Amino acid sequence: MSKAKFAWMGGKFVKWEDAKVHILTHALHYGSAVFEGVHSYKTKKGSALFRLNEHIERFFNSANALSMKINFTKKELKDAIYGLVRRNKIGDGYIRPLAYYGYGPVGIFPKGIPTNVALVAIPWEHYYSKDLRIMTSKYIRHSEKSTVFGTKISGNYANSILAMYEARKKGFDEALMLDEKGYVAEGPAENIFIVKNSCLITPNSRSALHGITRNSLLEISKDMGIRAYERKVRLNEVENADEVFFCGTATEVAPVVEVNNKKIRDGKAGEITLRIKNKYMNIVRGNDGKYIKWVTFV
């Protein structure tokens, strides 16, 4: 497991071993927390954070959905992230901002329970270093009728964990989750793209988090002369696609080579997928002038 020297809790840098919470922390019982995942990359100009502003915006939106009061400004939080990345000497790494309802009485309604904010920054390279085999989950993704669209609320991830266990127990790497109408939504913590006739297509399902990586890839692909659009996607379109890949902050761009035991084309990572991955990796490492606006050097 990746460790670091320090974490940050409620405004203070604390030793890794001291980054603890009480057993009566509300979020532990009810999933009443929100989080982000920010990728840090080692670049020629030091460590750089990819699309930090967008992650911080989403973090505050998620907190707002749970009526949490974050007692830090966005700037204070960003400064704390820079401080933690420096102290922990993170190059390629991952930053986890977390806000959670803390110590308080047992009971679902968190009235009067304080919102705590914490940061973890750990070294890390790749989430997946292999191509993925995925299966359709029996669990459907939350719709916007059962949660707040576009947020990362911890409790919602029980649904992802169920899907992951289901897939891993059957020998797959990842799950593919559908929405309540049976259209393709996303992976447990990734978005999905398919390539058909040299076009990129990603589900517009409101049961998917419309992620920051997804958004970046839609923009980048235009530059690469690849047509890309969002629309409803049926499961058989994924199974019969020319190429399939998952994407996300942690996952980056991960080729999917098998869906429900059916090989995608020849069962190898697709050419367009690899071109997009290559372009994306160049951008996140600060090597593409046009997209340097997405990169924050620490």
Binding to ligand PMP, residues 25-64 (CB under 6 A): 37
Under rule CB under 6 A, how many of the chain's residues touch ligand PMP? 13
Task: Output the 3-class SS for 84-119.
Answer: HHHHCCCCCEEEEEEEEECECCCCCCCCCCCEEEEE
Binding to ligand PMP, residues 172-201 (CB under 6 A): 186, 189-191
Contact track, ligand PMP, 233-262, x by CB under 6 A: ---------------xx-------------
Contact track, ligand PMP, 264-293, x by CB under 6 A: ------------------------------
Contact track, ligand PMP, 205-224, x by CB under 6 A: ----x-xxxx----------
Q: Report the distance separating Cα 141 and Cα 146, nearest Å.
A: 10
Our CB check for ligand PMP shows the closer of 163 and 257 to be 163
Q: How far is the CB of 24 from ligand PMP (least distance, A)?
A: 27
Our CB check for ligand PMP shows the closer of 80 and 208 to be 208
Based on the residue annotation, tell me whether 152 is a catalytic residue of this protein.
yes
The token pair that represents 195 in the structure block: 């390539």
Contact track, ligand PMP, 112-141, x by CB under 6 A: ------------------------------
Helices (H), 95-239: 157-169, 212-223, 235-239
Active-site choice (152, 222, 232, 279)? 152
Give the chain's radius of gyration (CA, Å): 19
Cβ proximity of 97 and 35 under 8 Å: yes
Q: Report the distance separating Cα 52 and Cα 240, nearest Å.
A: 36
Q: Report the distance separating Cα 215 and Cα 76, nearest Å.
A: 26
Ranked by CB distance to ligand PMP, the top (closest) residue is 211
Residue 246 phi, psi dihedral angles, 5° rounding = -100, 155
What is the three-class DSSP state of 234? coil
Residues designated as active site = 152
Give me the residues that bind ligand PMP (CB under 6 A), please. 37, 152, 186, 189-191, 209, 211-214, 248-249
